[in-house]
């Protein structure tokens, strides 16, 4: 009987250079979308999808992530003493149970495949999920839960996918599709960041995966791709023919929070979904749309 993945890997060792200087001393995964950091959204998605074990592959300067998911006795005491029950529940509800969380150091930034490989000794011979916090997904049913439902039918490897413009294929892993029912695409190959002229399709992988154990075997080979890094997609591609590979067009909206524009859009979109912020955000956006400025022009000059 096929078992769903119960363990998830969160590769969080990247430097976040696109967001410097904000990420000089703060992990990019701790950048907030409204009032929650990116990594918390990813963890909540995994937990709501049935994940029971959480592995963070970290790097130097990432201790803020560990502290975020740890019990803060002093903060809780202050919140309780001041009667801030709502805030207290918010920080308590996000905590994971003791023994559910592990942190592994990725000593060198050698690629996503290398980050996943670093967790190899904690992965039993069973499927594992991988979530990239940079890819934030707004969905009624968590994206990973949709993928697990598909996995229970297909087995093998599954990646969340979306169609991109032809000129954007060189930014993603692209599926070479053998069949496609509009929701689930079966792949006969996978190409990492092909030029538009060489792309077999426009169906691109985003940061959600369910990996068959065969992928970890391939990662053990430690073969670097064309960019000099150990690519997860290369290892997945080498398993095609031995295990099924599918791309799932998930129901939801993805925000590329690895880019500044995507990060800002995500803050706007998630704020608009909040009943306590929707009215204010609508008013602010209307003002910007009308004036194209941050505020009224007072005529003041800067010396």
Q: Does 165 share its domain with 264?
A: no
| Strand-strand pairing, 128-131 and 203-211 | antiparallel
Q: Does 102 share its domain with 209?
A: yes
d(CA 120, CA 237): 19
Identify the CATH number of the domain in which residue 162 sits.
Answer: 3.90.550.10
302 domain residue, yes or no: no
Least confident of 22-26, 127-131, 213-217: 22-26
298 domain residue, yes or no: no
Q: Does 149 share its domain with 283?
A: no
Q: 202-225 pLDDT, tens per residue?
A: 999 999 999 999 999 999 888 787
How does residue 297 score in pLDDT terms, banded at 50, 70 and 90?
Answer: low
Q: Does 253 share its domain with 269?
A: no
Q: 265-284 pLDDT, tens per residue?
A: 999 999 999 999 999 999 99
Q: Does 147 share its domain with 21?
A: yes
2 domain residue, yes or no: no
Tokens of 56: 């963070």
Least confident of 37-46, 101-110, 246-255: 101-110
Question: Which residues, listed in sequence order, are joined to residue 10 by a DSSP beta bridge?
Answer: 56
40 domain residue, yes or no: yes
Q: Does 180 share its domain with 280?
A: no
Q: 132-146 pLDDT, tens per residue?
A: 999 999 999 999 999
301 domain residue, yes or no: no
Residue 151 has pLDDT above 90, yes or no: yes
266 domain residue, yes or no: yes
Q: Does 174 share its domain with 239?
A: yes
34 domain residue, yes or no: yes
303 domain residue, yes or no: no
Tally of domains in the chain:
2
Residue 136's domain spans which residues? 7-258
pLDDT of residue 303: 39
Q: pTM for this structure?
A: 0.91
């Amino acid at each position: 009987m096929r078992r769903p993945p119960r363990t998830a890997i969160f590769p969080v060792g990247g430097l976040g250079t696109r967001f410097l200087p904000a990420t000089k001393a703060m992990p990019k995964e701790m950048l907030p979308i409204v009032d929650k950091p990116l990594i918390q959204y990813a963890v909540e998605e995994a937990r709501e999808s049935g994940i029971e074990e959480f592995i963070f592959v970290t790097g130097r300067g990432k201790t803020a992530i560990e502290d975020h998911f740890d019990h803060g006795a002093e903060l809780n005491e202050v919140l309780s003493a001041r009667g801030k029950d709502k805030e207290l529940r918010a920080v308590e509800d996000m905590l994971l149970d003791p023994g559910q969380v592990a942190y592994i150091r990725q000593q060198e930034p050698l690629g996503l495949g290398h980050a996943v490989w670093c967790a190899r000794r904690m992965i039993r011979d069973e499927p594992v999920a991988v979530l990239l916090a940079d890819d934030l997904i707004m969905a009624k049913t968590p994206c990973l839960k949709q993928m697990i439902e598909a996995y229970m039918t297909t087995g093998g490897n599954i990646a969340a996918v979306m169609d991109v413009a032809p000129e954007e294929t060189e930014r993603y892993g692209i599926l070479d599709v053998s069949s496609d029912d509009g929701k689930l695409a079966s792949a006969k190959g996978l190409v990492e960041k092909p030029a538009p002229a060489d792309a077999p399709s426009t169906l691109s992988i985003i940061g959600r995966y369910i990996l068959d154990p065969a992928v970890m075997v391939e990662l053990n080979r430690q073969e670097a791709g064309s960019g000099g890094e150990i690519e997860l997609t290369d290892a997945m591609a080498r398993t095609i023919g031995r295990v099924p590979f599918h791309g799932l067009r998930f129901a939801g909206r993805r925000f590329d929070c690895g880019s500044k524009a995507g990060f800002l859009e995500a803050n706007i979109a998630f704020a608009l979904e909040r009943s306590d912020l929707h009215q204010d955000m609508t008013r602010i956006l209307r003002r910007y749309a009308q004036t194209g400025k941050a505020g009224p022009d007072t005529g003041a000059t800067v010396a």
